[in-house]
Each structure stands twice: as structure tokens, then as C-alpha cells.
Amino acid sequence: MLVSIADLDRFRLLVVGDLMLDRYWYGPASRISPEAPVPVVHVRDIEERPGGAANVALNLAALGVKVTLMGVVGKDDAAAVLRRRLERETIDCDFLYVPDCATTTKLRVISRNQQLIRLDFEDSFTQFNPTRLTERFRFALSNVDAIILSDYAKGCLRDVASLIKAARAAGKPVIVDPKGNDFKRYAGATVIT
């Protein structure tokens, strides 16, 4: 399948993978805390951006591609922020919610263009049944031209083999952005980046 840049607005992609919210807190650090030898940052600006597979979807939408994004999130504020930000860019969000789990969030505190710390809020979604994702995935296949699987090893693509098998059976090309170096788990993919 060859798609020209001029035709990207007619192309429909399903992005499936680990969804994240990247948060940035910016501000000056002008003193050291009396409680511990760490800088005190006076937060003046907060930025929130889609990360992980959500960032892949955002970049594709910016190119004019019609994107459906599928992944696992918690029932929390981070998931709501992520959905609002993505829907603003006309990305169709098909989130699978897992109660009592946190949406993967990376919080970076930055002062004077220097990252001071990164705080990770995440769960491995162990109570999430991957069959739910596979069922939704199969249903979505008829409405897309190709699949991107974006793996950050956070739990969404635990059963990636079933997704690849279903997509290939439907005649859809599968592009994988892998995590780690066990490429055997992506057997059957059209392309591994």
C-alpha cells in the first residue's frame, strides 16, 4: 500500500498501544528547601501533552490522517485530560477504562531549561483482560486502512500476537513500534520500526 502525502487526509489509521499523559511544570528555582538539600521550584506554567501511543496519534492527525486511538487508561483526571486534548485534534478515542488503576503519567519539573526530576504515576494494568482489547480491535478493523501498534511495555499490548493475527487475517498492514529487543513477539507484522 503506497500513500502519497497529498492523500493522507483520506487515509484511516488505527493506533493501538500504551497511552500516557506527559505533564511539565515550569518555574524558577531561587532557593534550597530547609527540609532537604533540594531546589524549591515556584511553578509558573503547566503543560500537558499526549505521550506514548497518544503522541503517535497526535502526530499522524497533524499530517491530516484520520486516526482512531485505542488503549487502556485509568478512570482518572489524567485520562479525561488526555481524551479532551486528543478529541480537540479530531482523534477518535476508543479508551478501555480500568477502575482503580492510574493512567500512565510522566510529570517533569523543569527550571531554567533543566529537568530537575521526573515522577512516574503508572500501573501495569494486571487486572485488565486483554481479550476486551482484542474484541474492540477486531470490530475496528473494518473501518481502517492500516494499524500501528505502539508498545511502551506498560501492559496494553500484552497479547500483541492476537492483534497482529487479527489484522493480518483482515488484510491490514501492521506497523509496530516495539519496546525491548524480543522482536519474536511481533511476528507477522508488516514492518517493525
Instruction: Tell me the pLDDT tens digit for each residue of 82-118.
Output: 999 999 999 999 999 998 899 999 999 999 999 999 9
**Cα separation, 171 vs 87, whole angstroms:** 28
Residues 48, 107: Cα–Cα separation, whole Å: 9
Residues of the chain whose pLDDT is less than 50? none
pLDDT of residue 37: 94
Please give the order of strands across the beta sheet that includes 45-52: 45-52, 19-26, 104-111, 114-121
Q: Quick check: pTM over 0.95?
A: no
Report the pLDDT value the prediction gives residue 1, as an integer from 0 to 100. 62
Residue 103: which of 57, 50, 55 has the closest Cα? Answer: 50
Residue 35 neighbours by CB distance under 10 Å: 7
Alpha helices in the chain (DSSP H): 53-62, 77-87, 130-140, 160-169
Domains and CATH numbers, the chain: 5-21+50-103+124-192 (3.40.1190.20)
Among residues 137, 124, 90, 102, the alpha carbon closest in space to that of 21 is found at 102
